[in-house]
Amino acid sequence: MAKPQKVWIDARGQEVPAGYVGKYDKAKDRAVRHVLAGAEKLRSQIEAFMRDAIATMDELAGMKESLGERGNFSARSFDALIEVAIKQQYNVRLDGRVQKARELMLDYATRELAKAGDGAFLLKQMIDAAFKPDRNGFLPRTEINKLLRYHVKDDTWNEGAALLREALVTEAGKRYLRVSRRSSTSEEFRPVRLDIADCWPEERSET
């Protein structure tokens, strides 16, 4: 059994004799340290699992002559009830020409809005969504692609779209591991969620 602390250190870094530390404060300190130890142990286990899982899938991928599009790779068990997939995320970083492309595209949408066109309102929403960066400064690749698939007979719009295509710089981002399973081949795959929020214990109702 650990010996009781004679001196405690408070939030200001000052020593406090154990006799001056309240019962609740001691219990609170023990509780948070206990939870921290568990969280750090779990984190270590997850990191070890991820290293093993990625190494296993990378080794399997090396046995294939060709991988999926842009490095994505997935494999299923022989009975087709388990699927493991590696997904490579790609981020869109845009250079200084982006602002000009946005102005040209908005010019077309604004002119169409003046004609009271409902389609132009939706198009403006698409433009706003495509040019809205995330907290890391990247633009949504899916929204950009949607916008570039929108074809119109307008020189200003087409100039902006061409400028946007030239400005696109795609770079590899995070890789994601997805593990799924199903009870039979007639059912949809359900992911094994490695999400601590999804593991909240169920509350049992009293009868």
Q: Which two tokens stand for residue 118?
A: 């409902």
Per cent of the chain over pLDDT 70 is 88
Supply the angle between the helices 141-148 and 118-130 in degrees, to the nearest 10.
Answer: 140
Q: DSSP alpha helices (H): ranges in 3-117?
A: 23-61, 98-113
Backbone angles phi, psi at 20, to 5 degrees: -95, 0
Q: pLDDT class for 177, splitting at 50, 70, 90?
A: very high
Structural domain spans, the chain: 1-63, 93-170
Report residue 166 CA to chain centroid gap: 27
For range 34-47, the mean pLDDT: 96
Residue 176: name the closest of 66, 56, 73 by CA. Answer: 73
Report residue 199 CA to chain centroid gap: 19
What is the overall mean pLDDT for the chain?
86
Say what the pLDDT of residue 30 is: 95
Say what the pLDDT of residue 2 is: 63
For 110-169, what is each residue's pLDDT tens digit? 888 877 666 678 888 888 888 888 777 778 878 888 888 888 889 999 999 998 888 877
Biggest alpha carbon–alpha carbon distance for the chain:
82
pTM (2 d.p.) = 0.62
